[in-house]
Amino acid sequence: MNAAAPDLDVDEILADRAIRIVVCCGSGGVGKTTTAAALALRAAEEHGRRTVVLTIDPARRLAQALGLTELDNTPRQVKGLQPDSAELHAMMLDMKRTFDEVVLAHTEPKKAEEIFANPFYQAMSSTFSGTQEYMAMEKLGQLRARDEWDLIVVDTPPSRSALDFLDAPARLSRFLDGKMLRLLLAPARAGGRSVFNLVSASFGLFSRTVTKILGAQLLSDLSGFVGALDSMFGGFRERAEQTYRVLQAPETAFLVVAAPEPDAVREAVYFAGRLAADRMPLAGLVLNRVVPVAAPRLSADDARAAAARLDEMGGHPSTADVLRVHAELAELHDRQAEVAGRFLHAHPGVPVVRIPAQPADVHDLDGLRAIGSTFE
């Protein structure tokens, strides 16, 4: 590593009673879910903190190990902790269900039924890009408001450019305050007719064509949905903004997770910059899947030279093979260190912790403990 980064003391964060929320963010596939689960387990087992982990799309076997056999959108206590008194709860985010809960909490039951039956609601609540981010924020806000846990560990959705969840309140505000929406709402309030002109105008089409394409029923569904959103989402936006402020507070610690690979590190540089711009407390970088080197002082070149000498001397071939494997790993290690150095160059002073690549996928409590033990 070309710059010395301070070591990130993960245990210090997990033990700090003033820290109530740890957020693991990073680009796709770097180990956010695994890290979040390992941190949460360690907080519960080693630091005696009543912990809940909010996971997003965990791999099936990991979900099973956490006792998450069905999506029920509420935290369930994880069994098999050591000591028995340790308490960890886990849940996976069900975004459609969370959306439904928001509707039920803020609308009359009859109105809620109408909304649930609306095809635009059905599409938005299950597929609309960004909904997962909104709902992760909503769920975090709910968990924090319940004040039942010492520590909430949050996994984040694998968005193209992660941290989309930070944009959720702002994007929602833009959507709700947007011209398009107000235009759509106006005719809905006026009785619905002019929505035809409006939609046709905005798409640059004749209203007859639009009606033919979209259908009158669909247009009335759309204006109904937009009207419902307007009445319901003021409160949602407020809560999202409140959660956003909690994320800025000192009770929160953000960990940027990255693999020591060029793309992931480039994204991590961006995330750290984004967090700083949003005044979110970045605790450090977690470099995951770092290749471990058994004999760090034996360089790749020396190992290869030794292997060649052994061959000449007629030494045991497997010893030479071990030396050659060591050479490969040492080179990979150096490349990874060089790539990780790019982060340190961009954000000097940000503490770093390294998690070694495990021999196999991490899908049970022991695997999570093994990761946790690297924080010692």
Where along the sequence are the contacts to ligand ATP (CB under 6 A)? Answer: 28-34, 57, 59, 158, 288-289, 355, 357-358, 361-363
Q: Which is nearer to Mg ion, 32 or 354 (CB)?
A: 32
Q: Which is nearer to Mg ion, 31 or 187 (CB)?
A: 31
Shortest distance, CB of residue 350 to ligand ATP, whole angstroms? 19
Contact 371, 357 (CB under 8 A): no
Q: Which is nearer to ligand ATP, 118 or 131 (CB)?
A: 131
Q: Which is nearer to ligand ATP, 7 or 238 (CB)?
A: 7
Q: Among ligand ATP, Mg ion, none, what binds residue 264 when CB lies within 5 to 8 Å by partner kind? A: none
Q: How far apart are CA 69 and CA 4, in angstroms?
A: 43
Spatial strand order of the sheet with 21-25 comes to 76-77, 88-92, 51-55, 151-155, 21-25, 252-258, 282-290, 352-356
Shortest distance, CB of residue 362 to ligand ATP, whole angstroms? 4
Contact 230, 185 (CB under 8 A): yes
> Which residue type occupies 33?
T
Q: Among ligand ATP, Mg ion, none, what binds residue 177 when CB lies within 5 to 8 Å by partner kind? A: none
- Name residues contacting Mg ion, limited to 266-285 (CB under 5 A): none
Q: Among ligand ATP, Mg ion, none, what binds residue 59 when CB lies within 5 to 8 Å by partner kind? A: ligand ATP
Q: Which is nearer to ligand ATP, 187 or 284 (CB)?
A: 284
Instruction: Tell me the Cα Rg of the chain.
Output: 25
The residue whose Cβ lies closest to ligand ATP is: 158
Q: How far apart are CA 56 and CA 136, in angstroms?
A: 8
What single string gives the DSSP state of each residue in 335-350? HHHHHHHHHHHHSTT-
Q: How far apart are CA 357 and CA 208, in angstroms?
A: 61
Contact 58, 94 (CB under 8 A): no
Q: How far apart are CA 13 and CA 3, in angstroms?
A: 24
- Name residues contacting Mg ion, limited to 18-47 (CB under 5 A): 32-33
Shortest distance, CB of residue 363 to Mg ion, whole angstroms? 13
Which residues sit at the interface with Mg ion, rule CB under 5 A? Answer: 32-33
